[in-house]
């Protein structure tokens, strides 16, 4: 029969043993040391004035009273040192480091309460898709020294690395690398149909595929609108962002309908063969002038000019051309046409 217990090596009181109280007191000392184990520090040199009941972890190459006791626990009891060998699974609070450690059979290792869990939910439940989930009024990520980066990595160019914004769990906006290596901003009104609002190439070029812009002309070649008449448009040679043609205009063509409210740059180009003074004016809703080309000469030479204006236009406003004089105008691409761009 062994004279000590297996785990804590507490001495047994043996049959016919003299001075049994000595053995009993030694067992109590060990229990007092190991129960609620607190290790003051890890040292190789014994402290000069250790307090009674304190415990130390003896590190490599110990000296003085600890020579040959590397790896052991040194307890101060009754003015002397008691040495105990820690075993696999023992836990101790290392006061100097303010952390809990677990002995792995060889040395003390930091106890990581979290480790590498498959899921982590903070005030909510994580799942196989959202392995990290946080429910809070705010989430703070701050620097540790100077700067701070959030890294979102994807495996290949065709994959996605992005931030997705939702309303009631229905997606409404997404920014990041979505299916390519171009940085993109996408939006959705219903969480199903998506529109790319902006993309930036790896070379830094910026595209805005939903930005309203149009080049519109009436078409039909050389025509002579009646003085005081209004004409519209029939051909949209460039059209992006939702411009449409609306109600027909008495002088020919149709109204040009503005898709969204905002500031616009308006450029009117005119190609004419004047027979006298004339003007071509861009009007909003048939009334407000935003750009105008005027020729007060009676010369008959071929005439090309342009006028630029800027205006705040509202969604569903419409644009037409108003004419004075009776001058033949060449309605075609890059001749008499209207270019409108949202700023």
> Per-residue confidence of the chain (343 residues) as pLDDT tens digits?
466 554 555 565 666 665 665 555 566 666 766 778 899 999 999 999 999 889 999 999 999 999 999 999 999 988 899 898 999 999 999 999 999 999 999 999 999 877 788 899 999 999 999 999 999 999 999 999 999 999 999 999 999 999 999 999 999 999 999 999 999 999 999 999 999 999 999 999 999 999 999 999 998 899 999 999 999 999 999 999 999 999 999 999 999 999 999 999 999 999 998 888 899 999 999 999 999 999 887 666 667 789 999 999 999 999 999 999 989 999 999 999 999 999 9
Clarify whether residues 167 and 282 are in a common domain. Answer: no
- Establish if 255 belongs to a structural domain: yes
What pLDDT score does 24 carry?
A: 55
What pLDDT score does 194 carry?
A: 96
Clarify whether residues 253 and 335 are in a common domain. Answer: yes
Q: Could you list the residue range(s) of the whole structural domain that residue 100 is in?
A: 36-110
What pLDDT score does 298 carry?
A: 63
- Establish if 163 belongs to a structural domain: yes
Clarify whether residues 192 and 287 are in a common domain. Answer: no
The answer to whether residues 58 and 73 touch, using CB atoms and an 8 Å cutoff, is yes
Query: Would you call 184 exposed, middle or buried from its count of C-beta atoms within 10 A (0-12, 13-18, 19+)?
Result: buried
Clarify whether residues 217 and 335 are in a common domain. Answer: yes
Clarify whether residues 204 and 234 are in a common domain. Answer: no
Q: Backbone phi, then psi, for 257, in 5-degree steps?
A: -95, 130
- Establish if 118 belongs to a structural domain: no
Clarify whether residues 277 and 220 are in a common domain. Answer: yes
Clarify whether residues 56 and 87 are in a common domain. Answer: yes
Clarify whether residues 223 and 170 are in a common domain. Answer: no
Q: Which of 166, 188, 210 corresponds to the end of one domain?
A: 210
Query: How many distinct structural domains can be found in the chain?
Result: 3
Query: Would you call 244 exposed, middle or buried from its count of C-beta atoms within 10 A (0-12, 13-18, 19+)?
Result: middle
What pLDDT score does 239 carry?
A: 97
Clarify whether residues 222 and 336 are in a common domain. Answer: yes
Query: Would you give the distance in Å from CA 286 to the centre of its chain?
Result: 46
Angle at 124 between CA 123 and CA 130, to 5 degrees: 130
- Establish if 182 belongs to a structural domain: yes
Clarify whether residues 222 and 317 are in a common domain. Answer: yes
What pLDDT score does 274 carry?
A: 84
Q: Backbone phi, then psi, for 116, in 5-degree steps?
A: -125, 70
Clarify whether residues 229 and 177 are in a common domain. Answer: no
Cα(25)–Cα(64) distance, integer angstroms: 27
- Establish if 31 belongs to a structural domain: no
Cα(296)–Cα(196) distance, integer angstroms: 47
What pLDDT score does 36 carry?
A: 81
Q: Which of 57, 78, 110 corresponds to the end of one domain?
A: 110
Q: Which of 193, 210, 227 corresponds to the end of one domain?
A: 210
- Establish if 191 belongs to a structural domain: yes
- Establish if 319 belongs to a structural domain: yes
- Establish if 25 belongs to a structural domain: no
Clarify whether residues 195 and 266 are in a common domain. Answer: no
What pLDDT score does 1 carry?
A: 47
């Amino acid at each position: 029969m062994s004279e000590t217990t297996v785990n804590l090596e507490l001495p047994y009181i043996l049959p016919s043993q003299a001075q049994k109280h000595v053995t009993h007191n030694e067992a109590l000392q060990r229990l007092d040391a190991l129960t609620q184990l607190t290790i003051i520090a890890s040292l190789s040199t014994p402290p000069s004035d250790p307090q009674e009941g304190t415990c130390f972890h003896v590190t490599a190459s110990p000296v003085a009273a600890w020579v040959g006791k590397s790896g052991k626990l040194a307890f101060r009891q009754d003015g002397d040192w008691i040495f105990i060998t820690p075993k696999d699974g023992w836990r101790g609070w290392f006061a100097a480091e303010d952390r809990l450690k677990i002995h792995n059979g060889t040395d003390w290792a930091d106890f990581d309460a979290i480790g590498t869990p498959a899921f982590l939910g903070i005030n909510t439940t994580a799942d196989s898709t959202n392995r990290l989930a946080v429910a809070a009024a705010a989430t703070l990520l701050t620097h540790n020294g100077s700067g701070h980066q959030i890294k979102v990595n994807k495996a290949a160019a065709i994959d996605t690395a992005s931030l997705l914004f939702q309303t009631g769990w229905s997606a409404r906006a997404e920014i990041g690398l979505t299916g390519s290596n171009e940085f993109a901003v996408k939006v959705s009104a219903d969480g199903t149909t998506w529109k790319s609002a902006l993309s930036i190439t790896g070379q830094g070029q910026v595209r805005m595929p939903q930005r309203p812009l149009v080049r519109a002309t009436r078409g039909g070649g050389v025509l002579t609108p009646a003085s005081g008449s209004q004409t519209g448009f029939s051909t949209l040679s460039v059209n992006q962002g939702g411009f449409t043609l609306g109600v027909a205009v008495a002088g020919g063509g149709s109204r040009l309908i503005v898709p969204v409210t905002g500031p616009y740059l308006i450029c009117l180009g005119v190609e004419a063969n004047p027979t006298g003074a004339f003007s071509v004016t861009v009007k909003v809703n048939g009334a407000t002038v935003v750009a105008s080309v005027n020729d007060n000469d009676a010369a008959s030479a071929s005439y090309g000019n342009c006028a630029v204006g800027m205006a705040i236009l509202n969604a569903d406003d419409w644009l037409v051309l108003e004419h004075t004089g009776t001058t033949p105008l060449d309605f075609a691409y890059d001749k008499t046409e209207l270019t409108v761009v949202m700023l």
